[in-house]
A and B are shown apart, each in its own frame.
Chain A
């Protein structure tokens, strides 16, 4: 069998992307680090947002990373699951709101 596409150990190598494009890699990690600092939102709130988005974009690395980050910050499993639901609700809402487009088209084409 071929190697899996996702290897949990690859998360630790994330920083290596800078090796093939130093300037862009460094700019990205500077930006990334800055985003998650305390600001108008707390770092804790941003960690929960990141966890929700990680699920929506279905990134297994990000899910591992932000579950661990949440644990380190003392975030409870109830808070984490609610964040996942918030992401899931927006994602399913985004699908369902297209139902209006379907309804519009249906109505336009129907006598």
Chain B
């Protein structure tokens, strides 16, 4: 398992344009598989346009305590891109005035940003309806200074969404690193202990499942049933919902697909599983993504591919929701990841 990001390894796939070359070339250029653009044009959805803005997703930095094999952010301890307080101030101004009902903080491990707690405190004051922090769980156990995070989240009524690739140790550690499973279990117990994830608790704890390999997630409801039964029986852990998320062929997951000679089969599986009903619901149609340095993107994936919004407004300092809503969403072949099967978004299936 890699211990460094693609960027730190100076791998050419750390460059967004190299990734886009792969996604636009090969089996798509040769006509073996259709371009995403042509598929959505068939049902009148090209160009893809935003619906009502519901989610503001802010990536507060690419630093992470883990180096997961599938990570589309190419996050890791060696990544230094961190949102500074000045940019957070600009975000807060937007949070106070946005029409979006959900604020979604992601990373990296967002908790590693030195101004994370300050930002959460200030954001919570804005009174947004659903305030999500995407936590990798192990950060809570990584260092003493993070042990009180469950209490901190509770205090600010944060909705915790955590990654958990499987309910068995082997599969979890293979994807996310040795010891991740045990630390994640302990962190879930800590969250349960302060009231998170209990059946009637308003403190929401949801888990994110994404496959540990070159295959698509199965039925979300069936997986949720299996996860709930196994985590309760083996560890006494409770949680609310499971979101099944498809891995998109970006950064380290793309690197894995190519190195394991699964890329073409995986892209074929995504195209075969294309579900037209998922297109109008894809998350880029109700989300805006902000990067650590304040640039705006249609989604976190486009952020990693360096595809800034196609709007006059490209940076949070010039934020104008009306202008931004009147834009065409930038697409490429990675978008098939969000329209496969029941669809996939940061909130799980969409169709």
A binds B: yes
Listed in ascending order, the chain A residues whose CB lies under 8 Å from chain B are: 12, 42-44, 68-69, 71-74, 76-77
Centre residue among A68, A72, A76 by max chain B CB count within 10 A: A72
18 additional contacts, CB 8 Å, given A43-B219, A74-B167, A76-B171? A12-B268, A12-B272, A42-B222, A44-B222, A44-B226, A71-B211, A71-B213, A71-B215, A72-B215, A72-B217, A72-B218, A73-B219, A73-B222, A73-B223, A73-B226, A74-B218, A76-B170, A77-B170
What are 12 A-B pairs at a CB distance below 8 A? A12-B268, A43-B219, A43-B222, A44-B226, A68-B215, A72-B216, A72-B217, A73-B223, A74-B209, A74-B226, A74-B227, A76-B170
**Residues of the B chain whose Cβ atoms lie less than 8 Å from the Cβ of A74:** 166-167, 209, 218, 223, 226-227
Enumerate the 3 nearest inter-chain pairs by beta-carbon distance, A residue then B residue, closest first: A72-B218, A73-B218, A71-B215
CB distance from B336 to the nearest CB of A (A): 16
Could you give, for residues 187-217 of chain B, a 1 whenever the CB lies within 8 Å of some chain A CB and a 0 otherwise? 0000000000000000000000101010111
Taken together as a complex, chains A and B put the C-alpha atoms of A74 and B215 apart, in Å, by 11
- B320 contacts the other chain (CB 8 A): no
Q: How far is the CA of A68 from the CA of B213 in the complex (A)?
A: 10
Mostly, the A contact residues are: helix
List, in ascending order, chain B residues with CB within 8 A of A76's CB. 168, 170-171
Kindly list chain A residues whose C-beta atoms are within 8 Å of the C-beta of B213.
71
On chain B, the number of residues with a Cβ less than 8 Å from chain A's Cβ atoms is 19
| A77 smallest CB distance to B (angstroms) | 8
How many contacting A-B pairs (Cβ < 8 A)?
Answer: 33
Residues on A with C-beta less than 8 A from B171 are 76
Which chain B residues lie closer than 8 Å to A68 at the CB level? 215
Smallest CB separation, B22 vs chain A (Å): 20
**Distance from B90 Cβ to chain A, minimum over Cβ atoms (Å):** 41
A49 to B166, CA, bound (A): 22
> Which of B211, B227, B268, B272 has a CB less than 8 Å from the CB of A72?
B211
Which B152-183 residues have a C-beta within 8 angstroms of A? 166-168, 170-171
Could you say which residues of chain A place their CB within 8 Å of the CB of B211? 71-72
Q: How far is the CB of A19 from chain B (nearest CB, A)?
A: 17
| Bound: A73/B216 CA distance, A | 9
Which chain B residue has the least Cβ–Cβ distance from A15? Answer: B272
A43 to B226, CA, bound (A): 12
Minimum C-beta distance from B12 to chain A (A): 29
Residues of the B chain whose Cβ atoms lie less than 8 Å from the Cβ of A69? 218
CA distance A44 to B225 in the complex (A): 11
Contacts of B168 in A (CB 8 A): 76
CA distance A110 to B268 in the complex (A): 63
**CB-defined contacts of A43 to chain B, threshold 8 Å:** 219, 222
C-alpha gap A37/B219 in the complex (Å): 12
Which chain B residues (68-113) contact chain A, with CB distance < 8 Å?
Answer: none
B contact residues around A12 at 8 Å (CB): 268, 272
Which residues in B have their C-beta under 8 angstroms from that of A73?
218-219, 222-223, 226
Minimum CB–CB distance from A79 to chain B (whole Å) comes to: 10
Please report the C-alpha to C-alpha distance between residue A77 and residue B166 in the assembled complex, in whole angstroms: 13
Kindly state the separation between the CA atoms of A73 and B215 in the bound complex, as whole angstroms: 10
Q: Residue of A at shortest CB range from B212?
A: A71
Q: What is the distance, in angstroms, from B232's C-beta to the closest C-beta of chain A?
A: 15
Shortest CB–CB separation between residue A29 and chain B, in angstroms? 15
**Which residues of chain A come closer than 8 Å to B217, judged between CB atoms?**
72
| Alpha-carbon separation in the docked complex, A73 to B268 (Å) | 19
Task: Give the residues from 253 to 290 in chain B that come closer than 8 angstroms, CB to CB, to chain A.
Answer: 268, 272
Closest residue of chain A to B268, judged by CB?
Answer: A12
Chain B residues 113-172 with CB under 8 Å of chain A are 166-168, 170-171
CA distance A43 to B219 in the complex (A): 10
Residues of A within 8 A of B209 (CB): 74
Residues of chain A with a CB closer than 8 A to B227's CB? 74
Question: A77: which B residues are within 8 A, CB to CB?
Answer: 170
A45 to chain B, nearest CB (A): 11
Q: Give bound CA distance, A9 to B203, whole Å.
A: 48
